[in-house]
Amino acid sequence: MDLQGSTKRESERVFQCWLVLDLALLEEMGEPLLDELNRIFNLQPGPTLRHDVAHGPLSEGQCCSADVIYACWLLYRVCCLPLLTRWDEFVRPGLAIEEPGR
């Protein structure tokens, strides 16, 4: 098995997983947001942050690059901002469980 064949199979698996996620999330998140996430984390040319984080070529200095900062902001926007409107419903109960003395 050569490295190039191995890389190609890995890319195909990632692409197939992305398609499954893409179909499942398309209705919920919308096509523009999914395209943006795909461009940042998966597609070449581009930052391909998923690969760089998973396989280690992301250096310490690159952690402060514009691509990484933008990716962190985007993930915060997707994951955390929707919770702010429902903080009392989803987050506060979990925080109460972690309080000392409870």
72-95 pLDDT, tens digit each = 999 898 888 888 888 898 888 888
Return the residue matching tokens 């395209």: 35
Lowest mean per-residue pLDDT among 4-13, 29-38, 49-58:
4-13
Position 29 pLDDT exceeds 80 = no
* Rounded CA separation 97/99 (Å): 6
Q: What angle do CA 11, 17, 21 make, to 5 degrees?
A: 140
| Tokens found for residue 50 | 């998923």
Which range (29-38, 58-67, 85-94) has the least confidence? 29-38
pTM over 0.75: no
Least confident segment among 6-10, 14-18, 19-23: 6-10
> Long-range contacts for 18-21 (Cβ within 8 Å, ≥24 apart)?
18/42
